[in-house]
Amino acid sequence: MSTPDYHLEEELHAQGFLRVAGVDEVGRGPIAGPVTAAAVILSPGAIPEGLNDSKQLTARRREALEQALITAAEVSIAHASVEEIDEINILRASHLAMERAVAALDPPPDFLLIDGNMIPRGLTIPARAVVKGDATSVSISAASIMAKTCRDRLMVDLAQHYPGYGWETNAGYPSKSHKNALRDLGITPHHRRSFKPVHNILYQGKSVSS
């Protein structure tokens, strides 16, 4: 597995793009909770050591890097809601969260490095899509860490209000225990009704009131 570095950012700096933001999202696969995106502009002289794809790091390491990034970088985090996911589909909702995260950076970036193979259509800033970007660019890996730690914490909070679904450990992903709880306890307002496991239960008429 390759380790992300700063070479893409340095190439863009040489072209005159000094404020380069890495952008990534988490939460496309879960059947509950929002999709979350982050945009991060690193300072070349203060890049935290150990940045990597958030999935390659332990929760403790992600949390330590989160604190380092809050101190040393410009960070913005945004979400698209379950209702938006169901209305416009998960791909568009993940792009909407990215657009919101970018829009919240002030002053705005000069250039965006976007994880994946698509550039969200609502962006007006020059951008490049980077496949496996969180393993290529430290700015994108920083964004993946910020988005994941924020979303994981949000799902832990939601789990306190809707116990039994295991969101504090599965983060809303369709684990076996989560799907069993969905069948036994019903659908909550935080479940994505357009996703098949939830959709199937919905048609059986079992839901949990808010």
Annotated binding-site ranges for a divalent metal cation:
24-25, 115
Helix (H) or strand (E) holding 60: helix 59-72
Helix axes 7-14, 138-161, angle to 10 degrees: 120
> How far is 181 from 192, CA to CA, in rounded Å?
15
> How far is 192 from 151, CA to CA, in rounded Å?
15
What residues form the annotated binding site? 24-25, 115
The two beta strands, 74-80 and 20-26, are unpaired
- Reading the block at residue 144, the tokens are 């993946």
CB 134 within 8 A of CB 140: yes
* 116-123 CB contacts, 8 Å cutoff, 24+ apart: 118/91, 120/95, 120/96, 121/95, 122/95, 122/96, 123/98, 123/99
